[in-house]
Structure 1
Amino acid sequence: MPQTRKTRTTRTTRSVRPRSRRSVVVAFLVAALLFMAGSFIAPLTIQLLKPLPTDYDATFRTAETSALVAGDTVTPANADRPECATPDLAPHSCFVDEVAAVSTQHTTTHPTDTRTEITAETTRELLLDGEPTARLDDEVRLARSSGYPVSDPVSRLVIDAPGLPGELAPEPFIRTGLQYFFPFTLERRSYDYFDTTAQLTVPLDYVGEGEHNGHEAYELHHTVTAVPLAEAVARAYLHPTELTAEPPPSGGALFGLLSDEQRAMTRAGHTSGPASRFFSDEELARFGFTGGEIVAVSPFYSVERTLWVEPRTGTILDVAENVHVQLATDQRQAEELAFDTSPDRVLFAAESRWDGDTTAQQRAAADEVVPWLRVLQIFAVLMKAASFLVAAWAVVTIVRHRRERP
């Protein structure tokens, strides 16, 4: 009898252990599959969501705001001022009017011969008292994965604005910096931004995060002051068309590289007259002018720009801009007077922000993607947690069987 019992026990042990080993092997395989699902399915799905669409079509509009705008004739509001009676001698402020301003932007994207790139076409218009006044047609080829321009001379601009003797339409050029789209998964850092008025790529700095327009948002901001518009026009003609090209010079050397027709475009807005036409008594003393001294002034551009961007999708939720174009005798003076709203020298001044329909549109665009990203994040965490639990069960099983060995 004792021998019989021993034989039965041995058979039972041999019949159980192989099944346990198989269960442990299966558990480790399941744990590995769960870990791989959590590690790879979410990132791969995000990669499918990441590229910019080839059929994007959206319109953006600012809320109506009050703008100061200089014209060619004495405005009705200033007609009764005695000093405005003789236009040739009248102060600059006689030609400045306060009007209602709205800016619109229509952006579309189209496929190219390369799957990783799109062409983005944008038309921007400035409406003053409901009438189209300035227009920008912009075409740029972008990398779908990042929103940055490609390094090819395929960017095009056509600008039609008051004061220009004709359309500003430079040859296709290489562009750098973001504009209409931001990368998926934003970082807390500065981003290069291409300003079409300054014709410069300038940093757009990260300044903080918080809730905006119903979403978490990164706030990006920059202030660009006293850009001579004559140099901006010159840069538009001299943007590089090859990666190895030397950057254009700065200052007066720019103009020596232009044709006569191009130089004529850079002189738009330049004027001269007695200093008293452009400066108050306090400013005359401040800058050392006499009232009758003849001064030459030219337009300078300044802007304060703030963007709120949903960081997981790169969706721009809102944009605010404070734009000033005003006359000054030189760069130093323009820096001192940047964002001065005095009508004595202003050519254009307005603060604008996207209207309610536009911010609702952008909030809805973020709403389409952000929930999926949350689901994918939760899925990845659950898969990895399940992988850990299954692997832990397999380890515990191995340890228990080792302890049960005779």
Structure 2
Amino acid sequence: MTSHSPRGSKTRLALPAIFFGLGAFLITLALMLVFAVVPSQKVTPLDLDSLTITEEAPANLLVGANFAAGEPTPGNAEREECRPPSPEEEGEGEDAEAPAEGEGEEAQPEEAPEDAPLPMSCFMEAGVPTVAQRQVYAVEPGDKDTVTFQASQSVLRQDRLDEGDEEGALVQATKDRVTMDRKTAEPIEGNNGSVELVDAETTGEAPAEFHREGLQYKWPFDPKEEDYDYFDASTFTTNPIHFVEESEVDGVPVNVYRQEVGPINMYDSIAAHFQAINPGFSQAVNSILASYRISGTAGAWGLDGDPNREVRMNRFYTNERTISVSKSTGQILKGREDQFQFFAEDQGAADEFFADKAAVEQEKQQPTRTAFSYVGAWDQPTIDRAVERSQESDSRVTLYGRTLPISLGIIGLLFIVGGFFVTRRKN
């Protein structure tokens, strides 16, 4: 009669249990990676730090320092209409012989007043080599649900930078701060951001935080092929940005979104913003607003009608923005802005002017009412860095959401099948 040791029986019973247990554990671990770990990876990182630089491109701009001093820019100094009258041209010397009475009266044109302002075009420069740069980095507060970004953005004259004049190179700048949800990339509820405006002559900052809506520096993971709201820090307005197509950036699949904004009255929008968050403008805010509304004569602005008519010109903002967003990580991989800021008397005049494409093109060739005109597209090193960051993030998600779960799931199934095989053999 054959006898079985208790120890051998327990071993034979334990082996299938071990196989089943390991298989179940590995499959459970795979599911945890998919449903628990991956969602924790699909959030905006707390240590983000990115630099965006555009390709050098020509810009047209109103040089505020020259306008304030009443001095034409160096590029306009030799234009006849920009030269102040010389003493000889202003009048005749004491020893000059006076013309006979009535002599040459009909041939003399009507003289402009001695204090007639120079045309505004004398203070505008065309074809200025320009670059834009933006540094976006995470700051406090931030936690498992929210992250705060600070973005320092500036537009710089490359010709002044080449001369070592960093201070004189600044055209305009903003310092933007926003706290947003790490999953949706949308600003959180309540007061969630502030914007400081800076230009070449004036500086000032928002006296308090305010509530804003719309995406800006990042899309959510797995962005949808639909329209989103987008916040514009130049005008403090939120406008739709539209999905237009799928494409690729250096082999990475992207969604392309495009937005056309304006004309927006910058004085009205910025004044309304500051008034809403802190009634009563500070000196800093007033200095900022001064560059968005300029009084003068119709003749100085090249407007039709009586050249001596007093006009108050408002600065209007337009922008055609194109953004390419990774279809997996939601990171912006490529950006382009065609920005045009110009002066007009009111909204109706601005809409009429901007709708006349021939007039706009003529203005871009020979500026007479331009505040700033520039097409900025990300340079290739910026695109390369953005693609690399996106691929690193996508690799982590792929590792935890696909590679490891599939591998662990297959191994777990093999253990379970092995457990059934061992059980059948023993039976």
Matched, 1:268 2:268: no
Aligned to 2:424: none
Matched, 1:308 2:324: yes
Supply the AA of the counterpart residue of 1:346: T
In the aligned structure 2, how far is the partner of 1:264 from the partner of 1:373?
Answer: 48
Query: Per-residue CA shift, 1:265-312, capped at 9, x if unaligned?
Result: 5343422344343347xxx3xxxx455544321111111111111021
CA-CA distance at 1:147 after TM superposition: 2.4
CA-CA distance at 1:200 after TM superposition: 0.8
Aligned to 1:139: 177
- Within 5 Å, give how 1:372-383 maps onto structure 2: 372-375=396-399, 376-377=401-402
Aligned to 1:95: 123
Q: Against the structure 1 CA distance between its residues 277 and 330, is the aligned structure 2 distance closer, same or farther, given a 3 Å change threshold?
A: same
Aligned length: 365
In the aligned structure 1, how far is the partner of 2:27 from the partner of 2:353?
Answer: 61
Contact 1:103 / 1:124 at 8 angstroms: preserved in 2?
A: yes
TM-score, normalised via structure 2 length: 0.72
Matched, 1:355 2:379: yes
> Runs of 5+ in structure 2 lacking a partner?
1-11, 85-114, 162-168, 421-427
CA-CA distance at 1:226 after TM superposition: 1.2
Matched, 1:112 2:137: no
Supply the AA of the counterpart residue of 1:328: A
Supply the AA of the counterpart residue of 1:82: E
- Within 5 Å, give how 1:1-400 maps onto structure 2: 36=28, 39-71=31-63, 72=67, 73-86=71-84, 88-98=116-126, 99-112=128-141, 114-128=143-157, 129=159, 130=161, 131-162=169-200, 164=202, 166-239=203-276, 258-259=280-281, 261=283, 265-279=288-302, 284=304, 289-338=305-354, 340-341=360-361, 342=363, 343-375=367-399, 376-377=401-402
Q: Against the structure 1 CA distance between its residues 115 and 366, is the aligned structure 2 distance closer, same or farther, given a 3 Å change threshold?
A: closer
In the aligned structure 2, how far is the partner of 1:141 from the partner of 1:178?
Answer: 11
- Report the secondary structure of 1:66's partner residue: strand
- The 10-residue stretch of structure 1 (93-102 or 50-59) with the greater mean CA deviation from structure 2: 50-59
Identity of counterpart residues, as a percentage? 23
Supply the AA of the counterpart residue of 1:204: I
CA-CA distance at 1:39 after TM superposition: 4.4
- The 10-residue stretch of structure 1 (208-217 or 166-175) with the greater mean CA deviation from structure 2: 166-175
In the aligned structure 1, how far is the partner of 2:139 from the partner of 2:287?
Answer: 35
Supply the AA of the counterpart residue of 2:39: Q
Contact 1:199 / 1:235 at 8 angstroms: preserved in 2?
A: no
CA-CA distance at 1:219 after TM superposition: 0.5
- Report the secondary structure of 1:179's partner residue: coil
Q: Against the structure 1 CA distance between its residues 221 and 173, is the aligned structure 2 distance closer, same or farther, given a 3 Å change threshold?
A: same
CA RMSD of aligned residues (A): 3.9
In the aligned structure 2, how far is the partner of 1:189 from the partner of 1:76?
Answer: 48
CA-CA distance at 1:390 after TM superposition: 10
- Report the secondary structure of 1:268's partner residue: helix
In the aligned structure 2, how far is the partner of 1:208 from the partner of 1:303?
Answer: 20
Q: Against the structure 1 CA distance between its residues 202 and 389, is the aligned structure 2 distance closer, same or farther, given a 3 Å change threshold?
A: farther
Q: Against the structure 1 CA distance between its residues 313 and 371, is the aligned structure 2 distance closer, same or farther, given a 3 Å change threshold?
A: same
CA-CA distance at 1:158 after TM superposition: 1.6
- Report the secondary structure of 1:187's partner residue: coil
CA-CA distance at 1:381 after TM superposition: 6.0
Query: Per-residue CA shift, 1:209-267, capped at 9, x if unaligned?
Result: 111133111111101111111122213314569xxxxxxxxxxxxxxx54485566534
Q: Against the structure 1 CA distance between its residues 351 and 36, is the aligned structure 2 distance closer, same or farther, given a 3 Å change threshold?
A: same
Q: Against the structure 1 CA distance between its residues 240 and 46, is the aligned structure 2 distance closer, same or farther, given a 3 Å change threshold?
A: farther
TM-score, normalised via structure 1 length: 0.75
Supply the AA of the counterpart residue of 1:357: P
In the aligned structure 2, how far is the partner of 1:265 from the partner of 1:149?
Answer: 26
Question: Which gives a bigger RCO, structure 1 or 2 (Cα 8 Å, sep 6+)?
Answer: 2
CA-CA distance at 1:354 after TM superposition: 1.2
Contact 1:157 / 1:170 at 8 angstroms: preserved in 2?
A: no
- Report the secondary structure of 1:76's partner residue: coil
> Runs of 5+ in structure 1 lacking a partner?
1-18, 242-256, 396-406
